[in-house]
Amino acid sequence: MITGYITRVSGPVVTAGGLGGAGLYDVVEVGEARLIGEIIRMDHVGAVIQVYEENTGMRPGEPVVSLGRPLSVDLGPGLLGSIYDGIQRPLVQLKAASGSFLAPGVKGEALDRARTWRFVPVLRSGDPVEPGTLVGLVKETELVEHRILAPPLTQPGRATRVSPEGDYILDEIVAETDSGARIGLSHDWPVRRPRPCRKRLPPDEPLITGLRVIDVLFPISKGGCAAVPGGFGTGKTMTQHAIAKWCDADIIVYVGCGERGNEMTDVLTDFPKLVDPRTGRSLMERTVLIANTSNMPVAAREVSIYTGITVAEYYRDMGYDVAVMADSTSRWAEALRELSGRLEEMPAEEGFPAYLPTRLAEFYERGGRVQTLRGNPGSVSIIGAVSPPGGDFSEPVTQHTKRFIRCFWALDRDLANARHYPAISWIDSYSEYSDELRDWWDGVDADWRDVRTRAFELLKREQRLEQIVRLIGPDALPDEQRLVLISADMIKNGFLQQNSFDEVDKFCVPAKQVLLLRCIMEFHRRAEAAIKAGAPLPRIVGLPIRERLARLKSIVPNDNLDEIRAAEKEIISSFDELSRQYRKEEAR
């Protein structure tokens, strides 16, 4: 350890002398309270440190101690179900120690070092060991089997000793090799260093969310990256909550980065109550929460994103599909801006540092579907909320984020005000994963691409007609164009809108999603043909099947799709009957 002293204090940024032997990004303990910090610059003035805890009252002359290692997280059994702050301090334990407000310098073990875990060995003495080798299994929760792997930096060799099945604490060594490797149930990993993998895999499997507007119109793959931009009150957090609860990821990592305290309180109180729909158990059994509210030190906000993505990569290496919810990257960017100002760096657009795009790229590039060191597939999907001031998507964070993601779910204030949820705009949103996912969706329903394309075209036609309607009203339009408005409303209300509190509609399986949209598009196609044959629009609008289509989403459960297929046949018979009646009337 190297000891120095504080020479200058500027908010969370501290300059220290006497640390000439320390390295960049080394962890330091700052001041009499031994606050956790990190060296972010070394120059002729000294070491520049960002402090991750409240440092009010800190003075020049106080000691600084470099620990000689980078900022790391503790990885092992016990992560799931835990609630941490940005530097992986366990908030539940710290509350018991210091009350509702964290005292400066208070510390706690990220993982319970005294707790025993039932270890079942898979590795045998004499077996080859290399990075990613499966050593044994631990039942972390009822939902997740924790796979103890040889850490990424393990020297290759052969196992000379493997502990028998039994109960072990995290610090005990369960395997040793002839190369000198000693493998325990946990290990550290630097948060700013991506964990290695063998190779990247194509994003050809969707992350099913149960939200129709996402899965059908703007799908995201496992290992994909998406942004959810929107102004205040448009539903960013609620959209992420719905995805976290219903998506088919194995592990959820939720990072509350710089959000308001009341919002994070809702998350921390609601998540333990949520029930995993697949197993009926608590969602917390496969969730890690990282809470870093807006009243916490701004520097910790910057590192919380890296803590979350490192935990996600750890479970990815076991072969799990992990979904990271980052709420929000705008607050993280604001932390970069404040720290950059303290460092007296030259600002770029709107005061953000010039390296903002680089940091965003480094974060989103850590997502992806990969072949792990062990050889099996795993993925990290990143869904980052963006909070542009005033809902202005032209601001720097949103614009730079669009460069590094392939899925953009733009939230619309008008839709939110109209109580249309999810308030994802079908005009401003896009997904570049649809081509890679085509084969998967063709296996669900071969009509997916066709009905999706026709629905997009119909919604775009409706947008153009809305401008005319505002000027002359809908009654002045011909029947063909009025039908476009009616069919677009059927798509909006009968397909895109979902009720999170409806027992049937809150989650929709992929097959049902395509069938619902196919029924609406079949109705439009038949209605269009009937109008061209001379049938009046009021007769078409008055068909009973039209009202039934709007209710199918909430009256037909996911396991009874035959009822939707019957509705599709009813559309055909209804229009055939209408055609016969109209021909009889014409004959008279």
- CA–CA gap between residue 62 and residue 5 (Å, rounded): 6
- CA–CA gap between residue 265 and residue 312 (Å, rounded): 23
Q: Give the CA diameter of the chain.
A: 103
Listed ranges 378-382, 473-477, 530-534, 561-565; the one with the highest mean pLDDT: 378-382
Instruction: Please tell me the predicted confidence (pLDDT) of residue 404.
Output: 95
**Looking at the domain 199-388+395-431, which fold is it?**
Rossmann fold (3.40.50)
Residue 473 has pLDDT above 90, yes or no: no
- Per-residue pLDDT of 207-244, as tens digits, reads 999 999 999 999 999 999 999 999 888 988 889 888 98
- Give residue for tokens 């129709």: 212
291-300, 481-490, 506-515 — which is least confidently predicted? 291-300
CA atoms within 13 A of residue 243's CA, in its CB half-sphere = 33
Instruction: Please tell me the predicted confidence (pLDDT) of residue 245.
Output: 86
Mean pLDDT across the stretch 342-366?
Answer: 93
11-25, 191-205, 342-356, 571-585 — which is least confidently predicted? 571-585
Cβ burial, residue 190 (10 Å; 0-12/13-18/19+): middle
Instruction: Please tell me the predicted confidence (pLDDT) of residue 294.
Output: 74
Instruction: Please tell me the predicted confidence (pLDDT) of residue 13.
Output: 93
- Give residue for tokens 């000689």: 68
What three-state secondary structure class fits 489?
Answer: helix
Local confidence band at 497 (pLDDT 50, 70, 90 cut-offs): very high
Mean pLDDT across the stretch 514-518?
Answer: 96
DSSP character string of 451-474: HHHHHHHHHHHHHHHHHHHHHH-G
Mean pLDDT across the stretch 326-347?
Answer: 90
Q: Among residues of the chain, what percentage have pLDDT more than 70?
A: 99
- CA–CA gap between residue 177 and residue 164 (Å, rounded): 15
- Bridge partners of 226, per DSSP, are 383, 407
Structure-token pair, residue 416: 């939110």
Q: Inter-axis angle of helices 544-555 and 479-491, to 10 degrees?
A: 20
- Per-residue pLDDT of 67-101, as tens digits, reads 999 999 999 999 999 999 888 999 888 888 777 77
Model pTM score: 0.93
- Give residue for tokens 């305290």: 261
Residue 559 burial (CB count, 10 A): 8
Mean pLDDT across the stretch 129-144?
Answer: 95
C-alpha 386, offset from chain centre: 12
Beta strand 182-184 with 173-177 is: antiparallel
The CATH classification number of 117-185 equals 2.40.50.100
Local confidence band at 586 (pLDDT 50, 70, 90 cut-offs): low
Residue 3 has pLDDT above 70, yes or no: yes
Write a three-state SS string for 50-89. EECCCCCCCCCCCEEEEEEEECEEEECCCCCCCEECCCCC
- CA–CA gap between residue 586 and residue 480 (Å, rounded): 20
Mean pLDDT across the stretch 51-79?
Answer: 93
Instruction: Please tell me the predicted confidence (pLDDT) of residue 266.
Output: 73
Instruction: Please tell me the predicted confidence (pLDDT) of residue 500.
Output: 84
Beta strand 83-84 with 287-292 is: parallel
Mean pLDDT across the stretch 5-27?
Answer: 92
Instruction: Please tell me the predicted confidence (pLDDT) of residue 368.
Output: 96
What three-state secondary structure class fits 387?
Answer: coil
Mean pLDDT across the stretch 138-156?
Answer: 95
Mean pLDDT across the stretch 430-457?
Answer: 94
Q: Among residues of the chain, what percentage have pLDDT more than 90?
A: 71
* Nearest Cα to Cα of residue 283 among 85, 142, 380, 378: 142
What's the length of the chain? Answer: 588
For 2-70, the fitting CATH number among 3.40.1190.20, 2.40.30.20, 1.10.10.60, 3.40.50.300 is 2.40.30.20
Instruction: Please tell me the predicted confidence (pLDDT) of residue 585.
Output: 67
| DSSP 8-state code for residue 557 | -
Please state whether 180 falls in left (phi above 0), alpha (psi between -120 and 50) or beta. Answer: left
C-alpha 130, offset from chain centre: 31
Mean pLDDT across the stretch 94-114?
Answer: 84
Instruction: Please tell me the predicted confidence (pLDDT) of residue 391.
Output: 86
Structural contact between residues 52 and 35, judged by C-beta atoms closer than 8 angstroms: yes
Residue 153 has pLDDT above 70, yes or no: yes
Instruction: Please tell me the predicted confidence (pLDDT) of residue 274.
Output: 74
**Looking at the domain 448-587, which fold is it?**
1.10.1140
C-alpha 391, offset from chain centre: 20
Instruction: Please tell me the predicted confidence (pLDDT) of residue 100.
Output: 73
What's the Cα-to-Cα distance from 340 to each of 11, 192, 333, 343, rounded to whole Å?
Answer: 12, 18, 10, 5
CA atoms within 13 A of residue 212's CA, in its CB half-sphere = 29
Cβ burial, residue 542 (10 Å; 0-12/13-18/19+): exposed
Residue 270 has pLDDT above 80, yes or no: no
What's the Cα-to-Cα distance from 272 to each of 38, 111, 321, 324, 362, rounded to whole Å?
Answer: 32, 19, 21, 17, 31
Mean pLDDT across the stretch 501-525?
Answer: 94
> Where do the domains of the chain lie?
2-70, 117-185, 199-388+395-431, 448-587
Structural contact between residues 311 and 288, judged by C-beta atoms closer than 8 angstroms: yes
Instruction: Please tell me the predicted confidence (pLDDT) of residue 281.
Output: 80
Instruction: Please tell me the predicted confidence (pLDDT) of residue 195.
Output: 96
Instruction: Please tell me the predicted confidence (pLDDT) of residue 241.
Output: 85
